Amino acid sequence: MRFHLISALVTLFVVVDPVGVAVVTGGLTHGLPAALRHSIAWRGVAIAGAILIAFAFLGEALLRALGITLPALRVAGGLLLFLLSIDMVLARPSGIRNPTGPEQAEANQRVDIAVFPLAFPLLAGPGALTSVVLLMARADDAVGAAIVIGALVVVLALAYATLRFTSEVAALLGVTGANVVGRISGVILAALAAQFVLDGLGQGLPRPG
């Protein structure tokens, strides 16, 4: 149980990346009144939490309806997270987690970015959505599911805390510091992604004999 909690916390923390999100959001909300920045942070985290929790409980049923097995999701999700980890290690923008060029241009024209791009795709992007489904699939019972949801709440609380102090976080880390944190997180995520793929292959491939 302890390992499951640590695994869920590390996976969600690395994929959601509260520090990186705070740095990006700080640039988008620069010059806005503090009250508006705090409102954006709260609503963005709340919306992302609702999306992730809904996907955690309904994602597996949706996949079954589409005829997608959990081993296939583990392999596909692991590959997706591995691509994300490469972008994190190389410190380059990723369409998996960050807005694309046109999306970024649209976000720059918005005053209220709580829904887009903060809630999605910065907090509840494809990587995070895939991760919660994979973690819930690993849960053997209600206690395991509660651990995953608890880990998600903790990570979102950390994200809210960093978003409340985006200017301070950005000033403390700077671009180099944020890249260092991202690279270390990327290495950890690559190992987790490889484990997801190995689990999927182990369950999906026929066993000899």
Non-local (6+) Cβ contacts of 184 within 8 A are none
Average pLDDT over residues 85-89: 80
What are the tens digits of pLDDT across the range 162-184?
999 887 777 777 777 777 877 88
Q: Which amino acid is at 45?
A: V
Provide the pLDDT for residue 5.
87
Domain-located, residue 35: yes
pLDDT level of residue 100 (50, 70, 90 thresholds) = low
The pLDDT value recorded for residue 89 is 81
Region 78-89: mean pLDDT is: 81
Of the chain, the end-to-end C-alpha distance in Å amounts to: 32
pLDDT at 161 over 90: yes
Reply yes or no on whether the pLDDT at 98 is more than 60. no
Mean per-residue pLDDT, 39-55: 95
At residue 138, the pLDDT reads 84
CA-derived radius of gyration, the chain = 17
Considering 27-36, 59-68, 125-134, 156-165, the range whose residues carry the highest mean pLDDT is 156-165
69, part of any domain: yes
The most confident of the ranges 17-26, 43-52, 166-175 is 43-52
| Residue numbers of the domain that contains 13 | 2-204
Is 170 within the bounds of a domain?
yes
Quote the CA–CA distance of 18 and 185 in Å, as a whole number: 11
Query: Among candidates 55, 177, 27, which has minimal Cα distance to 125?
Result: 55
Instruction: Report whether pLDDT(139) > 60.
Output: yes
The number of distinct structural domains making up the chain is: 1
Write out the two tokens for 85: 């980890």
Which tens digit of pLDDT belongs to each residue from 185-198?
A: 778 778 878 888 88
pLDDT at 105 (0 to 100): 64
The pTM of the full predicted model, rounded to 2 decimals, is 0.78
Residue 209 placed within a domain = no
Of 7, 200, 17, 183, the residue nearest 86 (C-alpha): 183
